[in-house]
Amino acid sequence: MSLYLSAAHKSSGKTVVSLGICGALKAQKLAVQPFKKGPDYIDPIWLTQASGKPCYNLDFYNMTEAEILQLYGDKNSTADISIIEGNKGLYDGMSVTGGDANADLAKLLDIPVILVVDTTGITRGVAALVKGYQDFDQEVNIAGVILNKVAGERHQSKLVQAIEYYTDIPIIGSVRRSKALIIDERHLGLMPANETPQSQQFINSASQLIADQVDLNKLISLEKSTQTAQTESIKLSTPQLRVAIAKDSSFGFYYQDDLDKFSELDVELIYFNTLEDSSLPECDGLFIGGGFPEMQLEALSANQSLLKDIKLKIEQGLPTYAECGGLMYLTQQITNQADSYPMVGVIDADTSMTPKPIGRGYVQLEPTKEHPWKNVASTIFAHEFHYSKLDNIDPKTHYAFKVLRGVGVDNKRDGILKYNLLACYTHLRNVAGNQWVEQFVDFIRTIKNPSL
């Protein structure tokens, strides 16, 4: 049982509707499995909290169709209903001829689409919009419409009459414009739920509003079951390792399937809090992912005990991988609006926050000869999102990657190397074409036992 929630265009309120539907279905004691299309961390954090199940990303850029089907099939098989939230608009993608849009993913998974329509400033014209989306690709099953940001009863009546007169697409719900359905936004998108103490309260409120204004029974009845071939995952019998992972309100951008891969490789993940813990947990490796450290600079800098411990352990050779926010955290200092705060200081560079994005979107990397991990792919497809840049970089710095597309550290290179540390602005995803988790784990084992 699966449904694909998409929209006519970006910022239609689709994510909030998706959260509300996940929460409302969970309240009915259904096991709800969320998915998110594209390279997104923030929406999956919210969807995970709303559904109570880890959210997984499906991405044409760095996954094959077979991988997408495999991941979707594995996770969908244990759920009562799966909700896939799209990105951008239904037909928006990198290619003008399609192939990587939400519509293509819905067709690949063979599941119906619920179109969320922002009705702000539109009445009769909503029918032209909906019918146009229906006719544009008739292989896409647009099975229902949810009207969003509706001004009132009169507005709703006009919208419903137009859609019912000109189309045969059922209206599943009509969601009124409400301040209770607004999440604070930030430069990279929605405010992460891990930063918001009131996030569960928001989800509860959204779930109740959606339950009141969306016909959940009709929504569920639209589903179309899809059976996907599955294969058993084989757990490797290797010596267990412990990898420490920063996870708190500063760092929380991790792909769930990447974390799952560590477990498959018999690695125990030990989470620590960069704001509260005085030292690293006992570990064989360290992974600091992305996030928004700039929102907690004073608290991060004040935790001197942890900063010193991380610096010492990396200087002593602890295998470490860091991405974006993690890279920033490991530099000498982070400056935001003229205020500078000392950080770990193991990387010979300073971080400066910028008002506009420096790197945002898909990237393509080529490993250099200095890359310390084994069996690295010759070309890596990944992504970056950063509103910061590095200044005062030591000219003797070594790099793991040449940037073919994107920005990285300096428009030409990414992946700063020092001791046994690799730190990137790029976010890697563990897929068939880039099995970075296994490479990192093998690197940890080699450092721990050079005789292997």
What are the CA-CA distances from residue 401 to residues 379, 408, 444 (Å)?
A: 10, 9, 20
Q: Say how far apart CA 87 and CA 155 lie, in whole Å.
A: 27
Residue 34 sits at the vertex; the CA angle it makes with 197 and 436, to the nearest 5 degrees, is 90
| Signed CA dihedral, 129, 132, 138, 139: sign only | negative
Q: Are 359 and 375 in contact (CB under 8 A)?
A: no
Torsion angles phi and psi, residue 12, rounded to 5: -90, 0
Report the chain's terminal Cα–Cα distance, integer Å: 46
| Signed CA dihedral, 72, 75, 81, 86: sign only | negative
Q: Say how far apart CA 424 and CA 438 lie, in whole Å.
A: 17
Q: Say how far apart CA 182 and CA 188 lie, in whole Å.
A: 16
Residue 203 token pair: 């989800």
Q: Are 369 and 397 in contact (CB under 8 A)?
A: no
Q: Say how far apart CA 444 and CA 404 lie, in whole Å.
A: 28
Q: Say how far apart CA 416 and CA 42 lie, in whole Å.
A: 25
Torsion angles phi and psi, residue 307, rounded to 5: -55, -45
What are the CA-CA distances from residue 331 to residues 66, 243, 246, 268 (Å)?
A: 39, 21, 16, 27
Helix H or strand E encompassing 377: none
Q: Are 274 and 300 in contact (CB under 8 A)?
A: yes
Where in the sequence numbering do the catalytic residues fall? 324
Torsion angles phi and psi, residue 78, rounded to 5: -105, 10
Q: Can you tell me whether residue 364 is helix, strand or coil?
A: strand
Q: Are 181 and 187 in contact (CB under 8 A)?
A: no
